[in-house]
Amino acid sequence: MRQDEGQEELPIDEEPGTPTEVERLDINELGRLLRERRGSLSLRQAAEKAGVSFSTLSRVEAGAQPDLASFTALCAWLRLPPSRFFTPVAAREVSPLDQAITHLRADPRLSDEAAERISAVLRDLYAALAKDSGPTKPAVACHLRASPFLRPGVPARLASLLSDMNDELHRLVEAGEL
């Protein structure tokens, strides 16, 4: 997947225009609770009961981040939900245009230059035709050659964007402005 340097991948499973939260794992709290739960058990005994390796338990207690399988096993041993260890650190708005451009950049059949050219056209069209959001319309069907490579929900979002552009073009034609 291609990404510009310093640009993180945009979440695509959120509704367009809704803020998404970036969360951070509170590894210190996890380590503290593991040491507390372990009590007088040795690291090897506690690791066996938790279903992780001795070295994993030792590293996590010392502040290292576990892999997903170890994290879920440790949470189960602590009898706590994994969400207990996540804290939101930022919220940001993700626009439908940004989501569409992210998927274009991820298409393995497009070169960086081609993806950028299409992105530029989309940005220009969006700037020229976007209107204030009103009541949402149902998505129209949209057949895209790249649709097998798009993440779930993107074809519908792109269809909505194209539908809005189409409506605006019809309005401009009817008004004699185009």
pLDDT of residue 54: 92
What is the token pair recorded at 120? 């530029």
Collapsing DSSP to helix, strand or coil, 61 comes out as: helix
CATH of 22-90, one of 1.10.260.40, 3.30.450.20, 3.40.640.10, 1.25.10.10: 1.10.260.40
What is the Cα–Cα distance from 16 to 99, expressed in whole angstroms? Answer: 8
The residue type at 79? R
pLDDT of residue 55: 94
Domain boundaries, the chain: 22-90, 95-174
CA-CA-CA-CA dihedral for 147, 149, 150, 151, to nearest 10:
130
Percentage of the chain exceeding pLDDT 70? 73
The whole-model pTM stands at: 0.41
- Model confidence pLDDT, tens digit, residues 98-134: 888 888 888 888 888 998 899 889 888 888 887 765 5
Maximum distance among all alpha carbons in the chain?
82
